[in-house]
Structure 1
Amino acid sequence: MNLFIVEDSPYIQNRLIRFVEELPDVRVVGVAGDISSAYNAILDADADAMILDVQLSDGNGLHLLKNIKQNKPGIKVVVLTNHSTDANRLQALRAGADDFLDKSTDFEQIPQILHDWQQPAQIQNLN
């Protein structure tokens, strides 16, 4: 699985990369800290999955999510945010997010989510 991280905090970026390095068959293919540099980089990297923050330095990550899903509908996306309001959750799911996590309470779920996303592909490869 090719994973792209869109997160403006270098601390969180590094923490996510460390998590992913421990997972078999998951590879970080890019990291961006803002929307303007993320869009084309995600498409160029042929990402299968994305971890996306909502509040980025140049706007709302959910706008990026909508645009990416229009051009790459099969990409899996987990929204990871400190702004885990019901309104943001609903907007993220409507925009095409597959999961919505709170950075302060749900961070540890990321490895399992990525693992679960790989299962259908691994089962399909066995057939």
Structure 2
Amino acid sequence: MIVDDHEIVRRGIAEIVDRDDDFEVVAEAGSVEDAIRRAELVKPDVMLVDLQLPDGTGIDIMRSVGQSDPSIKAIVLTSFDDDGALTEALEVGARAYILKTVRGGEINDVIRAVAEGRVLLDERTMTRRFPDGENPTASLTPSERKVLELIGDGMSNREIGENLGIAEKTVKNHITSLLAKMGLQRRTQVAAWVAAQRAAAWRNG
């Protein structure tokens, strides 16, 4: 589903998405109210959400839809490059935050990755959250570090428990602890941090 209050922009994005045989645009919306209603009706796998809308923001949409159906994954596609907006988007569960300066083909790459359960935030975006070379994992225990890596692999709490041979409740306790130590609020933010670190390591050889 594509959410943008500019019809020409919506149509342009829809045309790009529809070029890929794996994707189908199931709904379009130009307001918060319309987006929430349509998401409830069509239950899209992925939403592309603009932040600035006539009757509110994309944050409002992601918060409402996330509460009613957490399986719907949200991608912020905006011209609004702002630290506060980024933080809010992460806090309501955005899986990716990309600017409208992105190339057309890259939009489909992001949709595919998010649909597969990955979180995509570039290194620049995550560095803004942890400036001055700060390592937010410095105080994690070895067990918490293992959980961190498996979150980055896209595993659920149950899958992490099975992989490490521990109870799901113990996994939740580890996640609560590592979130507090890293100064984050959601596991999607953890996944984004891991993805950014892996991307940086890959680029640096």
TM-score by structure 1 length?
Answer: 0.85
Match of 1:95 in 2: 92
**Residue 41 of structure 2 is aligned to residue 74 of structure 1:** no
The equivalent of 1:57 in structure 2 is 54
Secondary structure, counterpart of 1:27 in structure 2: coil
**Equivalent position to 1:29, from 26, 30, 34:** 26
> Cα RMSD over matched residues?
1.4
| Equivalent residue in structure 1 for 2:102, among 103, 106, 114 | 106
Name which one, 1 or 2, has greater alpha-carbon Rg. 2
Which residues of structure 2 form unaligned runs of 5+? 118-205
Q: Contact 2:3–2:50 at 8 Å: present in 1 too? A: yes
Query: How far is 1:89 from its partner?
Result: 0.7
One-letter identity of the residue aligned with 1:21: D
Q: Distance in 2 between matches of 1:114 and 1:58?
A: 26
CA-CA distance at 1:107 after TM superposition: 4.6
**Residues 39-75 of structure 1: per-residue CA shift (max 9 Å, x gap):** 1211111211100000001111101110100111111
1:44 counterpart = 2:44: no
How far is the alpha carbon of 1:115 from its aligned partner? 2.2
Structure 2: which amino acid aligns with 1:23? Answer: D
Asked if structure 2 preserves the Cα contact closer than 8 Å seen for 1:101 and 1:107, the reply is no
TM-score (norm 2): 0.54
Asked whether the equivalents of residues 95 and 114 of structure 2 are also in contact (C-alpha less than 8 Å), the reply is: no
Q: Which runs of 4+ in 1 moved over 3 A?
A: 117-120
Task: Give the structure, 1 or 2, with the largest relative contact order (CA under 8 Å, sep 6 or more).
Answer: 1
* Preserved contact between residue 46 and residue 115 of structure 2 (Cα < 8 Å): no
Aligned residues: 116
Q: What is the letter of the counterpart of residue 62 of structure 1?
A: I
Matched-pair identity in %: 28
User: Structure 1, unaligned stretches of length 5 or more?
Assistant: 121-127
Return closer, same or farther for 1:22/1:46 CA change in 2, 3 Å cut-off: same
